[in-house]
């Protein structure tokens, strides 16, 4: 099964990078930023992202547009300090581009200022690793 991991972050906290690296460790595939287009069709794309205002970043939307024909299934992975998932906005973008999105997603709390101190934590990352392994089985 051909699997890829892409992520985007503006944050200096590193929450999104932690999530991308946890998936990478679990499935043995390097996590790359959305600046790296897909070279070929993939069976599963893990898109690791965060909520920016009420949406995902324009860089992620542009990545999806450029690579839509190469993605068989997208799996959404995200974190937020407010508890809001990006699933609905990612699904809307995927639906508009004809990308199939898994109804399974991984979402966890993220630290920001004084909210959710030290999240995602080791337990969150271990759950994500198991989630990723289950997806690629």
Average pLDDT over every residue of 66-88: 94
DSSP secondary structure string, 11-75? -SS-HHHHHHHHHHHHHT--EEETTS--SS-BSEEEEEEE-BTTB--HHHHHHHHHHGGGBS-EE
pLDDT in tens, 84-132: 899 999 999 999 999 999 999 999 988 878 888 889 999 999 999 999 9
DSSP secondary structure string, 82-110? S---SHHHHHHHHHHHT--B-S--EEEE-
Whole-number pLDDT of residue 65: 98
Better pLDDT: 95 or 80: 95
Better pLDDT: 52 or 124: 124
Global model pTM greater than 0.75: yes
Q: Confidence class of residue 69 from pLDDT cuts 50, 70 and 90?
A: very high
- Best CA proximity match to 77, nearest among 115, 110, 53: 110
Whole-number pLDDT of residue 55: 86
Whole-number pLDDT of residue 5: 98
**Any idea what DSSP says for residue 118?**
T
Better pLDDT: 13 or 57: 57
pLDDT in tens, 3-35: 999 999 887 668 999 999 999 999 999 999 999
Domains, the chain, in order of start with CATH, read 3-126 (3.40.50.360)
76 φ, ψ (degrees, to nearest 5): -85, 130
Q: Confidence class of residue 82 from pLDDT cuts 50, 70 and 90?
A: confident
């Amino acid at each position: 099964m051909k699997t890829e991991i892409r992520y985007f972050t503006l944050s200096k906290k590193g929450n999104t990078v932690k999530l991308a690296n946890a998936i990478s460790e679990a499935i043995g595939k390097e996590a790359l930023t959305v600046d790296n287009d897909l070279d070929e069709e993939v069976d599963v794309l893990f898109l690791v992202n965060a909520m920016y205002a009420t949406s995902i970043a324009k860089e992620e939307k542009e990545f999806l547009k450029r690579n839509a024909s190469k993605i068989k299934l997208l799996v959404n992975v995200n974190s937020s300090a407010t508890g809001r998932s990006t699933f609905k906005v990612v699904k809307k973008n995927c639906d508009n581009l004809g990308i199939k999105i898994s109804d399974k997603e991984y979402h966890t709390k993220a630290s920001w200022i004084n909210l959710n101190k030290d999240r995602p934590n080791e337990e969150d990352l271990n759950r994500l690793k198991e989630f990723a392994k289950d997806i690629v089985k």
